[in-house]
Amino acid sequence: MMMLKMMNPFGSVTDALPSVGGDKDEDSGQTKEEQEEQEKLRQDAIKHAEKERRDKYKKQEDGREDMRQTIRDRYKIEKKIDSDAEEESEDDDGFSGGPKKVDDDPVAQAKAEAEKRMNEAKALAGDKCSIQ
């Protein structure tokens, strides 16, 4: 897009010209409260659609798992241990290399960040004192 603007002498002028359909920034005849209500309804519809999508795929996966279990039963195959279950058991020892669980509380996050920076500063100050 940038190359096109560089090649076209009127490339930057077209952005300044008003469009035929009007601007989205212009007032659409709705008050701020009505616009906020529309946005809330849109967000609710998105959340509802996402929940329906998750339910659909969970139902499909459950059906697949039932089919897998019938095949396992038919051929006398043991079910493999789920890798998520292994990860949970590894997390108990405290030496997991995976990402740490993040607390949703912003106060706890801020406190943890402050403690982390304080420890880094103490370590840095300790290193500088030993150098002198």
pLDDT of residue 126: 77
Tell me, yes or no, whether 105 lies in a domain.
no
Tell me, yes or no, whether 66 lies in a domain.
yes
Tell me, yes or no, whether 90 lies in a domain.
no
Q: What is the CA radius of gyration of the chain?
A: 29
For residue 73, pLDDT over 90 is answered with yes
Domains in the chain, number: 1
**What letter represents residue 119's amino acid?**
N
Mean pLDDT throughout 69-87?
A: 84
Q: Which domain holds residue 38?
A: 32-83
Tell me, yes or no, whether 63 lies in a domain.
yes
pLDDT of residue 30: 86
